[in-house]
């Protein structure tokens, strides 16, 4: 069912600039060339009946309802597949058309249940609407003939001939026999049901799966009247190739595919546009509401990042927001071995303020700090860093981007001058060569992954650089031209090899470099990568990739037309993460692939607001928009606005906080929405640091892993419960809108404000928009941004200011933000984390489509049906050598620690490399990862850990301790003392 508020124009919008004038029903209509007659009419307010057409999909012409008459043309062409032409005269309503349409509807309805009043789509069913529109009054064929509606056939009424169905020994048929065309409901998917008896075989679901999602999980099985929609090989949806994105459900014009929430609770009465709180794609959604309850989430067709598409997480996995595990009252305790005590907000806030003041009085003002999450809104992260800098009086604020994209900020800033991706997502529509390195878009950024696959199916070439055979390498109708299956930890070697080929084979864009880049650094870089040691042949033994393939890939990237690089955490989370980001920027500059549509350098941000949390000054050394705290002019502007003196010295990064906690100089921390105990590397080190602290304040939805070490718990609010903005991977600032009251009573920014006031620093915002106004006033790249303006434009890509009043889809167009592009030197330095006889395998980590990060949200949804434990992926060769079979328990030991997971044998791995996800706390994925980190930003080296894997029969010691600790903490929560 489509959104309850959107108008559907029937066929996709034409992007042509040439206008065509035609006549429809005596009205003059002017539309872009390439527009269908159906859409032209719809835009003019003339509704032509339709069933198989929707503007999300290409015209199909199967339902035969949208027929029209066109003067000078024979017959009755379908208006969806007929494009407008100049001077065309169209009649959409004639007696003959009325007769045809009624006849068509009569056939549809003769094979459709007549249960409209009890149907979940009642009132929003397109079949029902069309029956009304064409004036259907009778069905001359009756309902007893061959049909898909009734489980049984009445042999007398049906007119069926003899059938073997139910016949006895003598060949006599009973009075009723099972209907061979009837198929019962498929309710296997946790979020939607498939009721084939209501299906009109318009193929919208099949086409949505192909065109929009690109999974090709659905088909029309059989032919003629026997045709039916089938998933994979007529499997249940859950057993099929379906990835549960829900595009089919949205496309269905009847109730055949319906959200279970719609079936259970009925339809919404209003709808609010908001932004998804999962990955960095930042999909726009319409939250369809009944009062304060979400009925369903429907991706917004006007959403500029997602154009009406979504994935299984954004559309369906929102149940966590109302999960019983939510903690909705503040709690405090003196020691982490004590039961929690439920307290009022006043008491909780006063307690935190007094503890923080006590700690500062005793250990100095640098003994406390704050950590925010990329899941918080811009306004929230801004406020926390303001609280820390202005209220705590130090710069000890950091954000979880420390452990994901901090190298992106550093690497792109130093080469091009801005810590952000250069393009909008739609730029890929003009891309001819896509280079994906260290990213897995179909799992981690599914909606953009679908857009990328669409472009690849349309002919763009693809280079994948990844140790694993990710889906993009080969997935139905998409195949990479080159998969450079490198060894983990050798990105910089690979990037230098690619650069070597470009430099030594004369593939540079010399003109671009001469005009746009600084000559000396370029010359130095050129000399560096031109050295023989970086030739693909010399690097082959390091990367493990055949030299000829590297050469071919480099040639394709440099000469294949518009080339765009997309990268993810597989680039940043390395000892040379920043170097690799610089290497990527160098490649783009050297080949002139910067500054226009279709090219660029595109970090795929992990979380919804990684870009935003970094933009908002969440790093200890930077104010908003990456301006160093040591910059006097910038600092003075903040001092003036905030009315305090600020420190010019950077504060502690997250890993420094742990170190300081362990050496006794860091004692208190305010953590908003971040779960460092699960997500940061070397878990035992993290938990030791947490245990050494005196006041840990966790503000979150759930008692997460970190909260189990906390002394104060402040109930946070979900994205449905507050106003604010998120900034996605393409610098797009979108609104988050409150659709229900905060379960704990306050939006997160209000809690920060209460805390600031209690600490003696005044904050008096009455709405999140006022925080954005302050950000805009203090930040040149945000000068033009306000909630009102976002409401007006839908979303805004920063920079948005006097120079770019409508925002900036593509950056560095005429010149780089820093002026001239700067080639940074990218000497390859192998990581110190090396395989040995003791630790012969490399472990690398990642995520899976159905789960999200530490899983705090998705583990509390039905998404666990697809992934209910983290497993260790291992190549059959490595498994066989160790006597490991599918599903065996295996111990994974590194220099940092060990854990136990079940094995999944997979040819996606290369021999010598194992892989796991980190969605479940008990998995202990980060017990194994080491303290190694990026040389520039301390971003942990999650992607390279030397390990040994062996069969075992019991959990690791850490897992046993973790389980016992978890049980204790859950008991302490159970025993929480409530006020009388």
Beta 284-290 vs 270-275: how paired, if at all?
A: antiparallel
Single residue of 16, 85, 94, 221 touching another protein by CB under 8 A: 221
Exactly one of 471, 682, 721, 870 binds another protein (CB under 8 A); that residue is 471
Candidates 260-268, 467-475, 592-600, 636-644: pick the segment binding another protein (CB under 8 A): 467-475
- 459 touching another protein, by CB under 8 A: no
Q: What are phi and psi of 436, to 5 degrees?
A: -110, 120
Measured over the CA atoms of residue 899, residue 900, residue 906 and residue 907, the dihedral's sign is positive
> In terms of DSSP bridges, do strands 284-290 and 293-299 run parallel, antiparallel, or are they unpaired?
antiparallel
Q: Fill in the per-residue mask, 238 to 277: x = in contact with another protein (CB under 8 A), - = not in contact.
A: xxxxxxx---------------------------------
> Where on the phi/psi map is residue 417: left (φ > 0), alpha (ψ -120 to 50), or beta?
left
What is the nearest approach in angstroms of another protein to the Cβ of residue 232? 4
Contacts of another protein in 174-213 (CB under 8 A): 180, 209
User: Interface with another protein includes 166 (CB under 8 A)?
Assistant: no
Give the integer Cα–Cα distance in Å for 697 and 711.
Answer: 6
Q: Which of residues 363-392 bind another protein (CB under 8 A)?
A: none
To another protein, the closest distance from the beta carbon of 219 in angstroms equals 3
Q: Report the residue number, 477 or 767, with the smaller CB distance to another protein.
A: 477
> What contacts 960, CB < 8 A, 6 or more positions away?
none
Beta strands in 728-838 (DSSP E): 732-736, 796-797
Decide: is 167 part of the binding site for another protein (CB under 8 A): yes
Q: Please say whether the beta carbons of 684 and 927 come within 8 A.
A: yes
Binding of residue 17 to another protein (CB under 8 A): no
Output 192 or 761, the one with its CB closest to another protein: 192
Between strands 600-603 and 563-567, the pairing is parallel
In angstroms, what CA-CA distances link 271 with 267, 286, 648, 767, 797? 11, 6, 47, 21, 24
Residue 234 within binding range of another protein, rule CB under 8 A: yes
Closest CB 163 distance from another protein, rounded Å: 6
584: Cβ contacts below 8 Å, ≥ 6 apart: 411, 437, 495, 565, 567, 571, 601
Q: Is 206 helix (H, G, I), strand (E, B) or coil?
A: helix
Among the listed residues 74, 140, 223, 335, the single contact to another protein using CB under 8 A: 223
- Interface stretch with another protein, choices 164-172, 383-391, 665-673, 738-746 (CB under 8 A): 164-172
- Does 300 participate in binding another protein (rule CB under 8 A)? no
Distance, CA of 831 to CA of 490 (rounded, Å): 9
**Nearest residue (CB) to another protein, 166 versus 561:** 166
Residue 631 binds another protein (CB under 8 A): no
| C-beta closer to another protein: residue 218 or 321 | 218
Q: Which residue number, 74 or 223, has a Cβ lying nearer to another protein?
A: 223
**Of 219-227, 522-530, 745-753, 851-859, which part binds another protein (CB under 8 A)?**
219-227
How many CB atoms neighbour CB 342 within 10 A? Answer: 16
List 193's β-bridge partners, or say none.
258
Q: Which of 71, 142, 162, 328 binds another protein (CB under 8 A)?
A: 162
Query: Closest Cα partner for 959 from 920, 904, 929?
Result: 920
Q: Is the peptide bond before 799 cis (omega within 30 degrees of 0)?
A: yes
Cα separation, 525 vs 502, in Å, equals 12
Candidate ranges 8-16, 233-241, 611-619, 791-799; the one touching another protein (CB under 8 A): 233-241
Of 76, 866, 889, 965, which one interacts with another protein (CB under 8 A)?
866
Smallest distance, Å, CB 453 to another protein? 12
Here's the x/- map for another protein, 929-958, by CB under 8 A: it reads as: ------------------------------
Range 472-491, binding another protein (CB under 8 A): 474-479
Report the interhelical angle of 491-504 vs 519-530 (nearest 10°). 100
Q: Does residue 968 belong to the site contacting another protein (CB under 8 A)?
A: no
Among the residue ranges 11-19, 125-133, 160-168, 319-327, the one whose residues contact another protein (CB under 8 A)? 160-168
* 216: contact with another protein by CB under 8 A: yes
Identified binder of another protein from the candidate list 132, 178, 222, 519, rule CB under 8 A: 222
How far is the C-alpha of 565 from the C-alpha of 735, rounded, in Å? Answer: 28
Closest CA to 308 of 225, 218, 393, 211: 211
Residue by residue, DSSP assigns 464-532 as EE-SS--GGGEETTEE-SEEE-PPTT-HHHHHHHHHHHHHHTT-S-HHHHHHHB-HHHHHHHHHHHHSG
Q: Binding of another protein at residue 231 (CB under 8 A)?
A: yes
- Site for another protein contains 165 (CB under 8 A): yes
Q: How far is the CB of 475 from another protein (least distance, A)?
A: 8
The residues with which 889 forms a beta bridge, in sequence order, are 902
Cβ 906 to another protein shortest distance, Å: 8
Touching another protein, residues 880-909 (CB under 8 A): 906-908
CB 165, min distance to another protein, A: 7
Of residues 31 and 218, the one with the C-beta less far from another protein: 218
DSSP conformational letter for 782: G
Query: Is residue 81 classed as helix, strand or coil in its secondary structure?
Result: coil
Instruction: Tell me the per-residue interface mask from 651 to 670 with another protein, x by CB under 8 A, - otherwise.
Output: --------------------
d(CA 688, CA 49): 67
* Number of chain positions touching another protein (CB under 8 A): 43
Under 8 Å between Cβ of 213 and 307: no
Label residue 322 left, alpha or beta by phi (over 0 means left) and psi (-120 to 50 means alpha): alpha
Q: From the CB of 191, what's the least distance to another protein, in Å?
A: 12
Pick from 230, 550, 588, 884 the residue near another protein by CB under 8 A.
230
Instruction: Look up residue 54 and give its DSSP letter.
Output: -
| CB 242 to another protein: min, Å | 7
Q: Rounded to whole angstroms, how far apart are CA atoms 17 and 793?
A: 21
Question: How many other C-beta atoms lie within 10 A of the C-beta of residue 877?
Answer: 14
Q: Which is nearer to another protein, 355 or 443 (CB)?
A: 443
Nearer to another protein, 252 or 348 (CB): 252
**Contact mark string toward another protein, 835..864, x via CB under 8 A:** --------------xx--------------
**How far is Cα 670 from Cα 368, in angstroms, rounded to an integer?**
8
What does the binding site for another protein look like in residue numbers (CB under 8 A)? 161-165, 167, 171, 180, 209, 215-223, 230-234, 238-244, 471, 474-479, 849-850, 866, 906-908
């Amino acid at each position: 069912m489509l959104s309850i508020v959107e108008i559907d124009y029937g066929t996709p919008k034409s992007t042509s600039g040439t206008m065509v004038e035609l006549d429809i029903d005596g009205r003059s209509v002017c539309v872009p060339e390439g527009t269908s007659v159906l859409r032209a009419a719809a835009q003019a307010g003339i509704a032509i009946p339709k069933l198989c057409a929707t503007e999300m999909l290409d015209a199909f012409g199967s339902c035969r309802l949208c027929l029209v008459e066109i003067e000078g043309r024979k017959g009755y062409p379908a208006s969806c597949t007929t494009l407008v032409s100049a001077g065309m005269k169209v009649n959409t309503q004639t007696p003959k058309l009325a007769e045809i349409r009624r006849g068509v509807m009569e056939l549809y309805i003769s094979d459709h249940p007549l249960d409209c009043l009890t149907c979940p789509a009642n009132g929003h069913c397109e079949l029902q609407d069309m029956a009304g529109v064409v004036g259907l009054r009778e069905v001359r064929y009756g309902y007893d003939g061959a049909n898909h509606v009734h489980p049984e056939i009445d042999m007398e009424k049906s007119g069926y001939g003899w059938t073997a169905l139910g016949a006895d020994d003598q060949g006599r048929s009973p009075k009723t026999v099972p209907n061979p065309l009837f198929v019962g409901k498929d309710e296997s998917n946790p979020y939607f049901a498939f009721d084939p008896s209501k299906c009109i075989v318009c193929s919208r679901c099949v086409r949505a799966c192909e065109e929009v999602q690109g999974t090709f999980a659905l088909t029309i099985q059989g032919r003629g009247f026997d045709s039916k929609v089938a998933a994979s090989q007529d499997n249940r949806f859950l057993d099929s190739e379906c990835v549960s994105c829900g595009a089919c459900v949205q496309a269905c014009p009847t109730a055949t595919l319906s959200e279970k929430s719609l079936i259970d609770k009925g339809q919404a009465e209003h709808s609010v546009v908001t932004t998804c709180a999962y990955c960095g794609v930042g999909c726009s959604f319409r939250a369809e509401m009944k009062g304060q309850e979400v009925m369903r989430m429907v991706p917004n067709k006007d959403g500029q990042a997602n154009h009406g598409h979504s994935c299984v997480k954004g559309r369906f996995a929102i149940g966590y927001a109302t999960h019983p595990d939510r903690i909705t009252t503040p709690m405090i305790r003196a020691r982490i071995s004590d039961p929690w005590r439920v307290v009022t907000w006043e008491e909780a806030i006063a307690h935190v303020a007094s503890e923080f003041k006590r700690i500062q009085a005793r250990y100095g003002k640098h003994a406390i700090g704050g950590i925010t999450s990329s899941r918080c809104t811009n306004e929230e992260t801004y406020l926390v860093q303001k609280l820390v800098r202005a209220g705590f009086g130090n710069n000890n604020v950091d954000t979880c981007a420390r452990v994901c994209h901090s190298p992106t900020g550093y690497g792109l800033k130093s080469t091009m001058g801005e810590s952000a991706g250069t393009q909008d997502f739609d730029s890929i529509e003009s891309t001819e060569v896509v280079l994906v390195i260290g990213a897995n878009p179909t799992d981690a950024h599914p909606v953009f992954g679908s857009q990328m696959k669409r472009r690849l199916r349309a002919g763009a070439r693809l280079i994948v650089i990844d140790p694993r055979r990710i889906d993009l390498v080969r997935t139905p109708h998409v195949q990479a031209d080159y998969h450079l299956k490198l060894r983990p930890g050798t990105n910089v070697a690979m990037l230098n090899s690619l650069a070597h080929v470009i430099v030594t084979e004369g593939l540079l864009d010399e003109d671009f470099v001469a005009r746009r880049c600084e000559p000396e650094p370029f010359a130095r870089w050129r000399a560096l990568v031109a050295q023989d040691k970086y030739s693909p042949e010399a690097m082959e033994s390091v990367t493990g990739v055949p030299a000829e393939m590297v050469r071919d890939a480099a040639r394709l990237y440099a000469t294949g037309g518009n080339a765009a690089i997309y990268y993810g955490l597989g680039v940043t989370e390395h000892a040379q993460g920043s170097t690799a980001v610089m290497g990527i920027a160098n490649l783009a500059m050297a080949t002139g692939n910067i500054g226009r549509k279709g090219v660029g350098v595109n970090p795929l941000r992990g979380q919804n607001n990684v870009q935003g949390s970094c933009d908002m000054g969440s790093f200890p050394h930077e104010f908003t928009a990456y301006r160093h705290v040591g910059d006097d002019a910038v600092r003075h502007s903040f001092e003036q606005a905030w009315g305090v003196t600020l420190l010019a010295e950077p504060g502690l990064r997250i890993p420094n906080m742990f170190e300081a906690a362990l050496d006794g100089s860091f004692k208190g921390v305010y953590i908003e929405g971040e779960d460092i105990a699960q997500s940061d590397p070397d878990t035992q080190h993290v938990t030791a640091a947490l245990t050494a602290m005196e006041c840990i304040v966790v503000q979150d939805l759930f008692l997460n892993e970190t909260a189990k070490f906390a002394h104060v718990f402040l109930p946070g609010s979900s994205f449905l419960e507050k106003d604010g903005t998120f900034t996605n991977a393409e610098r797009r600032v979108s609104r988050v809108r409150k659709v229900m009251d905060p379960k704990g009573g306050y939006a997160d920014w209000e809690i920060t404000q209460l805390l600031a006031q209690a600490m003696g620093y005044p904050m008096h915002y009455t709405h999140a928009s006022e925080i954005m106004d302050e950000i805009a006033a203090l930040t040149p790249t945000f000068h033009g941004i306000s909630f009102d303006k976002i409401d007006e434009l839908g979303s805004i890509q920063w920079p948005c200011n006097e120079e770019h009043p409508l925002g900036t889809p593509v950056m560095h167009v005429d010149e780089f933000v820093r002026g001239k592009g700067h080639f940074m030197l990218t000497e390859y330095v192998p990581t110190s984390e090396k395989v040995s006889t003791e630790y012969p395998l490399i472990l690398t980590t990642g995520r899976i489509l159905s789960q999200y990060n530490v899983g705090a949200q998705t583990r509390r949804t039905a998404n666990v049906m697809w992934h209910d434990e983290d497993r260790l992926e291992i190549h059959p060769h490595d498994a066989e050598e160790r006597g490991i079979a599918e599903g065996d328990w295996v111990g994974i030991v590194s220099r940092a620690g060990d854990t136990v997971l079940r094995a999944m044998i997979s040819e996606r791995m290369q021999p010598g490399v194992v892989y796991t996800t980190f969605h479940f706390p008990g998995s202990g994925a980060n017990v194994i990862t080491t303290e190694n980190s990026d040389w520039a930003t301390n971003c942990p080296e999650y992607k390279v850990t030397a390990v040994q894997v062996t069969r075992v029969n019991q959990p690791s010691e850490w897992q046993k301790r973790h389980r016992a600790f978890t049980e204790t903490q859950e008991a302490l929560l159970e025993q929480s003392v409530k006020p009388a």
